[in-house]
Structure 1
Amino acid sequence: MDFLNVVMQGKKVGATIRRVEDLSEALLHPNIGAIFLLGGNINILPSVVKKVHADNKVLMVHLDMLEGAGKDKAGIHLLARMGLRGLVTTKPNLVKFAKEEGMVVIQRLFVLDSESVKTGIKMAAAVKPNAVEILPATIPHYVIQEMKDALGIPVLGGGLLRTEEDVRTALAKGIDAVSTSLQHLWDINFDE
């Protein structure tokens, strides 16, 4: 699967939504193809899935932050039955369950030091997500390259991005795309 074209829809920035009330901004934004939902609960999820799919955008729900869905195989099966096609999680066992349901999965990794890089690579290599998202996005180039070399999948970045320069620097270091809740960063024109 060509993750960057299918999920990110060829865009360099994905919209992170912490509150469902902010969904309409991402749906209307022409630069946004992927929407990362970091919050909400199982009761609102069917309407969110329906809205995002109707606008031909891709919804990735951060399972670890979704209320009301079991963080287990049965919970992921329920989400798949609701029409959810993509998950983000820090938990390797949930990556495995979501892949079994045919979902696209991003494993989120927190990069704190050399050991967290090694552990993240080991976890992701074992469960084979479609992409990894590293936090923060401001890490050194050699870490990004080490992950790409070891995993052979796209590396996304999130966290600690405040300016257009921050986004461009992260991309220049090798990150394939970023996710951010800062709406002014959704406006960056990469065609220049």
Structure 2
Amino acid sequence: MRIIENEFYDRIRENPVIAAVNNLKKLEKAIKSPCEIIFLLTGDIFNLQELVNHVKASGKSVFVHLDLIEGFSRNVCALKYINEIIVPNGIITTKSSLIRTAKEMGLFSIQRLFMLDALSLQSGINSIKTIRPDAVEILPGIMPRVTKTISTEVNIPIITGGLISDKEDVIASIKAGAVGISTSKEEIWYM
């Protein structure tokens, strides 16, 4: 197992709540929170290096959502730059081709999937089985039955995110098989 995988699993076991930062004003609060992992859902080509370094200096792990960082194209060249120059703990993306390439680079990769209907559920399961990301984030995260279906179909850690609003949502996700939940709701960071 790669070192970064061990680090991810250790941190998610320590605290299954992941601080999803979608506004830079929340970054300091996320860093000061008990969350061990931060999903960076904002930033741009000019500040990404500084943001990643700041989070890592705080002792937390940071995963960059490639699809949401402004100024980078969603291609292999940008991924290579982020891996070699920015050096996050890992990446998040909806793009299967980037997951595959990230894994080849040795970069921890989380595939984000949106569950809209039965077709997207089956398509997502097939994609997970084919691509084999290091972890999967499914949205919205308030669907324990879908979480349970995916977690029993694939042997890959599941993270739920989106529309998580209270402790009951967190507990339901964990009981359904998720190893963690990502949320931008600060009050949940302190659960």
1:21 aligns with 2:53: no
Query: In the alignment, which of 41, 54, 64 is matched to residue 61 of structure 1?
Result: 64
Among 163, 170, 179, the residue aligned to 2:166:
163
Other-structure match for 2:183: 180
1:143-154 matched pairs, under 5 angstroms: 143-154=146-157
> Which residue number corresponds to residue 117 of structure 2?
113
Q: Say which structure is richer in helix.
A: 2
Match of residue 85 from structure 1: 89
Counterpart selection for 1:139 from 137, 143, 161: 143
Cα deviation, 1:150-190, whole Å, max 9, x if unaligned, reads 220111100111112222222222222100000000111xx
Counterpart check, 1:52 vs 2:55? yes
Q: Shift of residue 10 of structure 1?
A: 2.4
C-alpha distance in structure 1 between counterparts of 2:153 and 2:26, whole Å: 36
RMSD: 1.6
- Take 1:120 and 1:58, find their aligned partners in 2: how far apart are those partners? 26
How much does 1:9 deviate? 5.7
Change (3 A) 1:3 1:113: farther
| In structure 2, C-alpha distance between the alignment counterparts of 1:36 and 1:110, rounded to whole Å | 17
Residues 1:84 and 1:4: Cα distance change in structure 2 (over 3 Å): closer
**Contact 1:3–1:154 (CA<8 Å) still a contact in 2?**
no
Q: Measure how far apart 1:70 and its partner are.
A: 2.0
Post-superposition shift, 1:53?
Answer: 1.2
Letter in 2 for 1:56: G
Which structure 1 residue ranges, 5 or more long, are not aligned?
none
Q: Does 1:99 align with 2:100?
A: no
Work out the CA distance in 2 between the residues paired with 1:79 and 1:121: 27
Contact 1:3 1:130 in 2 (8 A): no
Q: What CA distance in whole angstroms lies between the structure 1 residues aligned with 2:58 and 2:135? A: 23
1:34 matched residue in structure 2: 37
Identity of matched residues, %: 33
The one-character-per-residue Cα deviations of 1:63-121 (angstroms, maximum 9, x if unpaired) are 11111112111100000122123111111001012112211111011112221111001
Alignment gaps of 5+ in structure 2: none
Contact preservation (8 Å) 1:49, 1:59: yes
